[in-house]
Structure formats: C-alpha cells, structure tokens
C-alpha cells in the first residue's frame, strides 16, 4: 500500500503515529536563562493534543552564547533538562513523539526579540560576544557585540557542547534529537563559503567546511540511544547566485555524509546566511524540490518544509513519495489541531485519537 499522511513511520525502533511534524519555531518566551516556562508546555502540548506525529521544540541553545535572544530556550544545564521533562511527559501522554532541536546561533546571536525589533544587543544592553567561523559580523547591523573567530579549542568545545546537550535532552525524555545546521546559524556558517574563510581543517574546500557538522552529528549519534533517531536540519541553498555560496548540489552531496555520520532524517529548509539572499519563489511547497534532490542522493529519510498549509497538500507529499515527513510550521501557529482537522478533511478520523474532552467538536 502507498503510505499517506496518517501512515505510521518507524525510524530505528521509534514509531511515529503519523507523518505530520511540528516545525521548530522560536517562541522567545523564556523569562530567565533559557528555562522552559508554562508557555512552552502549553504551546508544545497543544500541538501534541492536536494530533501531530512529532512535536519539536524551538532552536534550543547548547550554551548561553548560542541563543539568538536572551529569551531563547536552552539546555546547557541539568536545570534546563528538569524544566523540559514535564513537557516531554505530556507529549508522550498524548501519543506524540517529542523532539528537540539542538542549536547554536553563531554570529546571529545576541539580539532582541522580533517584536522588539531584532536589534543587535551591545554588551551594555546585556549582549554578548558572538562566535563564528570567521571574524565577520552579520551584515548591516551596527552596535552589536564583537564577533570572534573560533579557535580550535572553541571548535572542540562546541562538539562537546552538542554531545552533552544531547545527553541532557535524553534525560529530559526526548525521543528525537535534531542538529540545527540551517538558516545562517553557526553550523550553517561553517558550511557556507560566504561565512567561512578559514584556512585550517574546518575551512577551505567542501570537506573542510562540512567537517564540523559531520563531527557534531557523529557526537550526538554516539550519545543518543540506538533505538532513537537523529535528524539534521540544513539550508539547501544560500540563495546568493552572484557569489560563491552553499548550493542545492552541495546539500545533495552532503546528504550521504550526514547519513554516514548517523543522521536518520534530513530536514531540508533553505536560506538565512546573508540578508542579500534572493529566494527565487515562495508559496505552496516551494522548498519541497530541495528535499527531493537530497533524497535522490541518500538513503536517509527526508522531511519537507515550506508553505505546507492544506491537508490534501500534505497528504500528497507523502503519497507521491516526495518526502517522508510533512513538516508544518506557520499553519500550526494558526491551528494547533491541524492534524485532527486534516484527518477530518481526508476522511481518516478512524486513524487519529481525538481527546475525549474534545470529541464533541469532532462529531
């Protein structure tokens, strides 16, 4: 039989109840020091109640300097894991699979929240030194704290930070760990020649620029249980056609290397490394073709993102073999119960569990 949106998906020994995943979306809602709050429990828990197969946290910083804003989620201490544990318990109780996106913002760190302007924070305003493969700050931003080129100790420390964060995520009860290497954040900065002008083993050619991501993926895989999946999110293209940059073909070449390092699924997005990017088009399924290109080159599973808003659209991605997961972002902000409503629209209500408290609304 052809798989559809509500077919279970088994990755290693972890079975996801359907092919709908809540995309990692920053909430910028921590009060202090990256600790999860009631907001995170309600936000993530409602999407699990709403029928999604995988519910993933926002980008969760592996060390304090890895936050985009002071209000970002973190997992650099046992206290952070303890704050997240009730959330994973609730997600599991609702039958969904919990996932965490492990991240470091690199040179795009130390900013105010979007609704406060996304302005760079100076040290006097509570900002911090940002780290990057090269000592070049994110363009067109005045007044931010210094961007420092990472030395070898920083690089080694970062790999360790991701591994230890994964161990804490496991203690918190997560089923899936995702390495964030997209959207212009630190691991993507190492991939792209736009942001990486190093001349050591972590720069230069394709092998050098991909080395850190491969090492981080392997380090997370090493501490993650064999029966649970590791995902990696990548930006398929920098969308900078007028200069040497990271391209879709680079991403396709990277796919099998990530699988070799231990990635079970590649979550394919795009862009974010430079504000001059020129995205050729947006709209429904506008990034799906990049996931398909990656899938052509690797045995790893792929997730498709971008403009997925309708039940039939998400179902067609799976039925037509274009992706293994439909990763739904903004539509889950509009409708926490997207998966339950999709089941109604697709005539699949017998394949989802509507909470007894809500069944009057689904009859």
Contact between 1 and 8 under an 8 Å Cβ cutoff? The reply is: no
Among residues 28, 138, 140, 185, which one is catalytic? 185
Q: Concatenated DSSP letters for 250-275? A: HHHHHHHHHHHHT-SEEEEE---S-T
Task: Report the C-alpha gap between 308 and 312 in whole angstroms.
Answer: 10
Residues ≥6 apart with Cβ < 8 Å to 285: 304, 306, 307, 308, 313, 317
Contact between 97 and 176 under an 8 Å Cβ cutoff? The reply is: yes
**What is the token pair recorded at 179?**
């390495």
Task: Report the C-alpha gap between 52 and 332 in whole angstroms.
Answer: 9
Catalytic, 286? Answer no
Contact between 54 and 90 under an 8 Å Cβ cutoff? The reply is: no
Q: In the chain, where does DSSP find H-type helix?
A: 38-49, 78-93, 152-172, 186-191, 206-223, 248-261, 288-296, 311-319, 330-334, 338-345
Catalytic residues: 185
């Amino acid at each position: 039989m052809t798989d559809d949106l509500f077919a279970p998906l088994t990755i290693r020994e972890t079975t996801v109840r359907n092919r709908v995943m809540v995309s990692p979306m920053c909430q910028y809602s921590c009060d202090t020091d990256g600790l999860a709050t009631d907001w995170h429990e309600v936000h993530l828990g409602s999407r699990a109640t709403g029928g999604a197969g995988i519910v993933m946290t926002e980008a969760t910083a592996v060390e304090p300097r890895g936050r985009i804003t002071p209000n970002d989620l973190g997992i650099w201490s046992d206290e952070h894991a303890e704050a997240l544990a009730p959330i994973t318990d609730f997600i599991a109780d609702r039958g969904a699979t919990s996932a965490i996106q492990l991240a470091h913002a690199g040179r795009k760190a130390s900013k105010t929240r979007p609704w406060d302007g996304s302005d760079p924070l100076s040290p006097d305003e509570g900002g911090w030194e940002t780290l990057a493969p090269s000592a070049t700050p994110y363009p067109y931003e005045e007044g931010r704290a210094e961007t420092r080129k990472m030395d070898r100790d920083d690089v080694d420390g970062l790999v360790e930070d991701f591994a230890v964060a994964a161990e804490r995520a496991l203690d918190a009860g997560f089923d899936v760990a995702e390495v964030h290497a997209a959207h212009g954040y630190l691991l993507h900065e190492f991939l792209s020649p736009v942001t990486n002008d190093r001349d050591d083993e972590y720069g230069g050619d394709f092998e050098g620029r991909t080395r850190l991501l491969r090492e981080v993926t392997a380090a997370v895989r090493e501490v993650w249980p064999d029966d649970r999946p590791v995902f990696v999110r990548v930006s398929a293209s920098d969308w900078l056609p007028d200069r040497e940059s990271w391209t879709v073909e680079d991403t396709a070449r990277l796919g099998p290397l990530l699988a070799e390092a231990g990635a079970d699924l590649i979550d394919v997005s795009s862009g974010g490394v430079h504000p001059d990017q020129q995205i050729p088009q947006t709209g429904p399924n506008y990034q799906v073709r990049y996931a398909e290109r990656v899938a052509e080159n690797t045995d790893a599973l792929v997730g498709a993102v971008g403009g997925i808003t309708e039940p039939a659209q998400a179902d067609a991605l799976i039925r037509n073999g274009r992706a293994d997961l439909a990763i739904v972002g903004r539509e889950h902000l509009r409708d926490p119960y997207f998966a339950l409503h999709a089941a109604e629209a697709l005539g699949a209500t017998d394949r989802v569990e509507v909470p007894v408290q809500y069944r009057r609304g689904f009859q």
